[in-house]
Structure 1
Amino acid sequence: MKMERLVLVVLLLVLGCGLAHSRILTKCELINLIRNQAQQEQKIGNITIAKMVCHAEKLTGFDTSTLEEMTVGQKTWKLYGIFQFSNHMTCKEPGNHRRTTCDNLCSDFLDDDVEDDIACAIKIIKSILLTGKTPDDLLELIKEDKYFPQDCKDVTPDYLICEI
């Protein structure tokens, strides 16, 4: 009986610690967080925000700890966090010292602090808008319907309406 209780307590502690570092946002929470950060970093439009929110909802269900693997051609991608950032373009894995778009460790995108995730997403979007160029690695992912859900392609600002 004591052993069973000890096992149960340890299991609850382990699960509790794992859950403490991630969370599932609501759609309204994510909209408000993106809007707040977008105002600080030069505004991005409502259509872009709507697409960001749709992308997060369809790919991760707003779960900040989502980690996926996808194989495209010969390359295996690891996709991190609420926006599914790529280890090939956006973030670094331990031991990798090459420059990436946002220069964060990939594990930074798996915690409950989504401010760095939003900042990185805005940085990518602004870079594409300013240069008119989409990075090659991102172009590979765009071809994958799983990564860019068709439901989000024609999303409008109405998508940003929150039901309370």
Structure 2
Amino acid sequence: MFGVSMRALVVFALGVLGFSLAEGRVVTKCELRQRLFQVIATLPQSAQQSGLKADDIVAKIVCHAEQGSNFTTSLITQVAAEKGQHGAVASTEPPHARNRRHSNQGQSSGENDGVWAMYGLFQLSSPQFCSSGENATPNICQTSCSNFIDDDITDDISCVLKILTDLLENGFRSEHWNELKKMIKVMFQEKCRAVQAKEYFAACQ
């Protein structure tokens, strides 16, 4: 009897452990701040000329990650697409109303008609910024969406940096102007627009 109970306990423990590992990890605000500061210096000179300060840019990006994914690396959010004059655009419904799940296969689901998927820490969308395997264009960051839902946030940060660099260097002349503009509007959303780095990162001092 004891042996059966122990086996059941072990199976249960392994199941919980396996689920936990599949859930990815939660990045801390301070860790993300530090990682972003390491790369933000590589932004073009035009960023400084535009009056944007590095700490303010970082604060808004980190705030976006907090609002969008609650700092969860493996989050996939499915959103209904709205049809506009330029085609489908991501739904503007609040994050808590969206259909969310965590990847447990290391691969995300594809997009159905009228549905988009947003991936990982920064909730980057497919096929705009990554490929889910069904549609590889425009795939601005030239990567698989599965790279946005693992524990390594290097790909996620590189994609965000690419978005910022493209906009700052090329503006409306960018090949992907519409996609980049929409992403920046989401990233610098109203809840994050007035965030001040000093107060927002007070616990990181």
- TM bucket by the smaller chain? 0.7 to 0.9
CA contact (8 A) 1:31 1:160 kept: no
Tell me the number of residue pairs that the alignment of Structure 1 and Structure 2 aligns: 161
Aligned to 1:35: 37
SS of the residue corresponding to residue 203 of structure 2 reads: coil
Which region of structure 1 is more displaced relative to structure 2, 53-62 or 42-51?
42-51
CA-to-aligned-CA distance 1:74-105 (integer Å, 9 cap, x gap): 53210000100001200100244434111111
Match among 61, 67, 88 for residue 127 of structure 2: 88
The answer on 1:121 being equivalent to 2:160 is yes
Query: How high is the sequence identity, in percent, across the aligned residues?
Result: 31
Letter of the 2:55 partner, please give it: N
Aligned to 1:157: 197
Match among 160, 173, 178 for residue 136 of structure 1: 178
Alpha-carbon separation, structure 2, partners of 1:57 and 1:159? 15
Structure 2 vs 1, CA of residues 148 and 46 (structure 1 numbering), >3 Å: closer, same or farther?
A: closer
Alpha-carbon separation, structure 2, partners of 1:103 and 1:85? 12
Which region of structure 1 is more displaced relative to structure 2, 5-14 or 75-84?
5-14
Which region of structure 1 is more displaced relative to structure 2, 107-116 or 89-98?
89-98
User: What is the TM-score of this pair, normalised by structure 1?
Assistant: 0.80
Give the drift of 1:9.
2.9
Give the drift of 1:10.
3.3
Alpha-carbon separation, structure 2, partners of 1:71 and 1:155? 28
CA contact (8 A) 1:28 1:162 kept: no
Aligned to 1:69: 78
CA-to-aligned-CA distance 1:48-80 (integer Å, 9 cap, x gap): 111110000111111111110111315321000
Aligned to 1:105: 144
Contiguous gaps of at least 5 residues in structure 2: 48-53, 84-113
Alpha-carbon separation, structure 2, partners of 1:152 and 1:30? 16
Structure 2 vs 1, CA of residues 120 and 140 (structure 1 numbering), >3 Å: closer, same or farther?
A: closer
Pair member with larger Rg: 2
Give the drift of 1:141.
6.2
Alpha-carbon separation, structure 1, partners of 2:131 and 2:125? 9
